[in-house]
Structure 1
Amino acid sequence: MRHSIFDTLPESLRSEILGVFQTMHFEHGKILFRAGEPCSGLPLVLSGVVKVQMTGLSGNNIVLYRMGADEICTLSIGCLMTGEGFRAEAVVEEDTEVFMMPRDVFDRLMDQSVGFRRGIMDSYGRRLNDLMLLVEEVAFRRMDERLFCWLEARAGQGFLMITHQELATELGTAREVISRLLKELERKGKLRLARRRIEFTRQFFD
């Protein structure tokens, strides 16, 4: 497996760099890094899914973004460039394989390869735009609107397997808030709730 960021490198540099890389495997539930830890390298995801989330002063979590195959950890880019520790944690959601690029290799490639530097900054810019949209959602939309839109985007299969706590983490609020809003939607006949399951009724789509 290859990561497309290496396609930005000159052939000679690419062969040299790839020769020293090893693939690392992480199982579901593994913590790749925690808030406050120093950043020792740049994870390049080859397969699987990694969730990056932040814990607020209230104790509630919010999912900032997810990394899938051929993606780069934006938080790690920022930490490597500033020298500061992580402000969030990364949790493996699906068994994942990554290349872990050491800090010294990252610094060298940023200095020596214009293509690599542009690829990194393009990735950083796209994710930053997504995070700005998330800030807008959290700051300016009511939670009931955000919840309904989140559910609506995933209602195609007719049901979801998710706990109220997991849904609260997705939206950055308390479980009690999500439970109350879901119960209200159930009262209106739009949902049927069961343990770890949300089922959409015909009325949900009206």
Structure 2
Amino acid sequence: MEDFYAQYNFLEPELLEEILQIAVRKKFNQHETLIREGQFISSFPLVLKGLIRVSRTSEAGNELLLYYLQAHEVCAMSLTCCMARQTSEVNAVAEEETVVLLIPVEMLDAWTTKYPLWKQYVMQTFQNRFRELINTLDAVAFLKLDERLVKYFVDRHNKSGEHTFSGTHQDLALQLNSSREVISRLLKKLENEGKVSLSRNFIDFSGLL
């Protein structure tokens, strides 16, 4: 568990020991779902490795990307559902092979009271995710779709370090609440400008970075 100690060494030593005693380490493959909308949450994940996409889905099947989670982060929306004892209002999907520690929800309140550094970590998580949600709302409200597409790739790089996207144009369309035809046209425009390179189910967006 060296990776755990290295990433979460800012927490109280006693808390680290508690986490190791009760947490379940689990690996999720790329595109595997960790949390579904409407699911009752019995545990929340601490991310050790990988990248998680947290989103909402409309009745029509379109997706709104809320934020990404990476190593040493925890999902604020799942914490909120845990506190309120409600079902999940988001989907969480592994964008790449991801390893997490699953913590029983009943520990959240106890640790928040018992460990000041854990409380600070949770509050900082809420603040960070709130800021990202504001950025998401700003993008939807004020940016054109071509600008949102570029922002999607840049944000993905900033979180994961990756400069490629593995998936279909339809996948992108669902995440940006658009149509495949429109996304394909915008990607072709970016390719003609030398900013992306397109191949089957694969996009290299190095030229945007």
Structure 2 counterpart of 1:39, from 38, 41, 50? 41
Partner Cα separation in structure 2 for residue 7 and residue 151 of structure 1: 31
1:159-178 superposed matches below 5 A: 161-178=166-183
Partner Cα separation in structure 2 for residue 86 and residue 95 of structure 1: 22
Q: Secondary structure at the match of 1:66?
A: strand
Do residues 190 (structure 1) and 198 (structure 2) align? no
> Do the aligned partners of residues 183 and 81 (structure 1) sit closer, same or farther apart at CA in structure 2, a change above 3 Å counting?
same
Structure 1 counterpart of 2:127, from 117, 125, 128? 125
**What's 2:142 paired with?**
140
User: Do the aligned residues in 1 keep the contact of 2:23 with 2:104 (CA within 8 Å)?
Assistant: no
> For the aligned residues, what is the CA RMSD?
3.0
Deviations 1:17-71 (A, max 9, x none): 4223232222223211110111212200111222222212332113222222111
> Do the aligned partners of residues 83 and 160 (structure 1) sit closer, same or farther apart at CA in structure 2, a change above 3 Å counting?
closer
CA drift of 1:79 comes to: 0.8
Structure 1 counterpart of 2:11, from 8, 32, 48? 8
User: Do the aligned residues in 2 keep the contact of 1:63 with 1:169 (CA within 8 Å)?
Assistant: no
Q: Secondary structure at the match of 1:79?
A: helix
Q: Secondary structure at the match of 2:97?
A: strand
Q: List alignment gaps of at least 5 residues for structure 1.
A: none
Partner Cα separation in structure 2 for residue 104 and residue 152 of structure 1: 37
Deviations 1:84-122 (A, max 9, x none): 211121112222221111111112101212221111110
User: Do the aligned residues in 1 keep the contact of 2:19 with 2:103 (CA within 8 Å)?
Assistant: no
CA drift of 1:184 comes to: 4.6
- Bigger radius of gyration among the two: 1
**What's 2:116 paired with?**
114
> What letter matches 2:107 in structure 1?
V
> Do the aligned partners of residues 36 and 194 (structure 1) sit closer, same or farther apart at CA in structure 2, a change above 3 Å counting?
same
User: Do the aligned residues in 1 keep the contact of 2:44 with 2:102 (CA within 8 Å)?
Assistant: yes
Q: Secondary structure at the match of 1:19?
A: helix
Partner Cα separation in structure 2 for residue 94 and residue 158 of structure 1: 13
Structure 1 counterpart of 2:93, from 91, 94, 101? 91
Q: Secondary structure at the match of 1:7?
A: coil
**What's 1:21 paired with?**
23
